[in-house]
Amino acid sequence: MSYLLLFLSTILVILNTAVVSMIMVACAIAKWLIPILASQRFFSKMANQIMWCWATINKFLLTLFNNVEWQVTGNESLNKESWYLLMSNHISWTDIVVLSSLFKDSMPMTKFFVKKQLLFVPFVGLACWALDMPFMRRYSSQYLLKHPEKRIADMKSTRKACEKFQQVPTTIVNYVEGSRVTPLKQQQTDSPYQYLLKPKAGGIAYTLAAMGEQFDCILDVTLAYPQNRETPFKDLLMGKMKKIVVQINVIEITAEVQGDYFNDPIYKQQFQQWLSQVWQKKDQRLAEIYKKN
């Protein structure tokens, strides 16, 4: 029965994503063909509504196939008229489904900073463009040492891409670890945490530098699937997900987290220490969650 559910739910998730992607592509083509500001805003709004539908259907499928106990705390002050920077630990593909399903009615639809190369991926690139997700180039640290002007140019282009968010409430998601956590990755990166990878400060500092003055606050989200820790995404598709824990800690954006990360070594060290403290507390919260469950 479980494998039948796995097959059925996988087909439905793929079908939902495929249909949504095709409609998104239609919106993207319409935006490109009609380069009028009012028209582009209309199709951007339509794309956000389509993403909301995708998240709604995913939540329906999640609850249809799973008898899940939700334990959510800290979401009382969230609203759809604010600007948020959301940083979360990253366990599995389940995270995207959970975050979009849980927050679709309580905050603006989530956006991601995506690699510029993704723009050329069929369907996906156009869908991201239709959703106004900022595209940015990724350079190696060695390349930036030789061409420091590229960092400044990329920052300017990112700021320009984010200008459209000034009038539209937005949630930017940043997976600070940069990858899904596994015991092997923890060992390879010499992680000092029990349940997390080391946080990468550059990405979130980059986001704050580009949009910091627009955010109302930072949402520090801790995700856990205490009874499905080994294979949460597979368990979700097989109807075996038992409990989902989501803890939201609201962090005010103070002078401590704002500065020039790439040119101010004192601020860079201060920011890294701040983020390490946030991650240490997150690791402690995860330890408490797993101990209770």
Residues 46-72 have pLDDT tens digits of 888 999 999 999 999 999 999 999 999
Q: How far apart are CA 279 and CA 268, in angstroms?
A: 16
Q: Please indicate, yes or no, whether the overall pTM of this predicted structure exceeds 0.75.
A: yes
Q: Which residue, 106, 122, 67, is CA-closest to 244?
A: 67
For residue 139, the model assigns a pLDDT of 63
Q: What percent of the chain has pLDDT over 70?
A: 92
Element (H, E) at 21: helix 2-33
Which pLDDT tens digit goes with each residue over 85-106? 999 999 998 998 999 999 999 9
For residue 138, the model assigns a pLDDT of 63
Which pLDDT tens digit goes with each residue over 101-116? 999 999 998 887 777 7
Which pLDDT tens digit goes with each residue over 260-285? 887 889 999 999 999 999 999 999 99
Half-sphere exposure of 117 (CA within 13 A, CB side): 2
Terminal-to-terminal C-alpha distance of the chain: 26
Report the C-alpha dihedral over residues 174, 176, 181, 183, rounded to 10 degrees: 180
Structural tokens at position 202:
């550059």
Query: Would you say residue 34 has pLDDT above 80?
Result: yes
Q: Which CATH number fits domain 2-292: 3.90.15, 3.40.1130, 1.10.287, 3.40.1710?
A: 3.40.1130
Q: In the chain, what are the domain boundaries? A: 2-292
Q: What percent of the chain has pLDDT over 90?
A: 52
